[in-house]
Structure 1
Amino acid sequence: MNNQNLNGTLVLVRPDLTVDPANGQGKVAIVTYDREQSKEIYVAFNNGKEGIYPPEFLLKLKDKKAILDDLMANGSAMPLDNFKDLYKISMLLDRGTSTAQWQALEIAGQNPAIWDKSIQPVKEAEKQVLDKAYTR
């Protein structure tokens, strides 16, 4: 079972959502409560509003090493704006502060061309969790 606790994690609400009752698409938020049993994650936005989302609606930054490795391997083949955004994200993650991480998530959310290189779902897909449970 996936017991990954996300409390305190900075997340990005999927910018491509078409239905979002909390009006948080494309915004950065902090996880305030993660309910594994009900598949709901509670988040707080910097404007004081809160929202409840299923895990598949929330994204987090990839590991800074993965971003930098991808940048070094594929940087010369990507458009300059994408390279600059990924470089900014890696530099912000290097700072190690929550403010820098927040800024990095905002940059990633504003450039759909780098989503696959910079952000990932907050939790593993349910199918992968089940596969792990049955392979013991």
Structure 2
Amino acid sequence: MTDDLKGTFVLVHPELPYDPANKQNEIGSITHSDLSNDDVFVSFGDEPALYEPDALLVLMPMEQIHANLAELAYETTFRDLKSLTQIDLFLRYGSDNKEFMALELARDNKNIQPLCLESLGEQIRRSLSQYPER
């Protein structure tokens, strides 16, 4: 899975208590990872910064975001509904930078983050549980 992560866009958790790179709430791209040591290197256009997988947020699987959108309550604000709909559409029909654009929308609307973002650590653990070692 280490090579699979290269190029993945991530959002540094906005409430990360300790971030030596000072990149909270910024979007970067994974350049390298060593999951056996919980090391993920993220580039923000300058030198890579080192993070643990749980400090980074990624988009949920497209099907989960779509299901969350379909289950939204009538009390949901128009802004939240619009943002989540745009994320769903970007991921389904968007261009080459669709993941980046979807992360920007999620970053800018904290209300929808639980409906479209999860930690990279959660995603890795789920992936590993689906494919147990032989």
2:16 alignment partner in structure 1: 17
CA drift of 1:74 comes to 1.3
2:85 alignment partner in structure 1: 87
More displaced stretch, 114-123 vs 91-100? 91-100
State the Cα deviation string for residues 57-103 of structure 1 (Å, max 9, x = none). 00110112211221122153311111111011111112354412101
2:7 alignment partner in structure 1: 8
Q: 1:130 to 1:99 in 2, by over 3 A?
A: closer
Structure 2 residue 42 is the aligned partner of structure 1 residue 43: yes
Secondary structure of the equivalent of 1:30?
strand
Distance 1:107 1:35 in 2: 29
Q: Contact 1:75–1:83 (CA<8 Å) still a contact in 2?
A: no
Secondary structure of the equivalent of 1:42?
strand
2:59 to 58, 61, 75: 61
Distance 1:125 1:84 in 2: 25
1:103 to 101, 104, 108: 101
Secondary structure of the equivalent of 2:41?
strand
The runs of 4+ residues in structure 1 deviating greater than 6 Å are 125-132
**Cα-Cα RMSD:** 2.7
Distance 1:99 1:125 in 2: 21
Q: 1:87 to 1:75 in 2, by over 3 A?
A: farther
Q: Contact 1:12–1:27 (CA<8 Å) still a contact in 2?
A: yes
Secondary structure of the equivalent of 2:10?
strand
What TM-score, normalized by structure 1, do the two folds share?
A: 0.81
Code of the residue aligned with 1:12 in structure 2: it is L
Unaligned stretches of 5+ residues in structure 1: none
Aligned length: 132
Q: Contact 2:59–2:117 (CA<8 Å) still a contact in 1?
A: yes
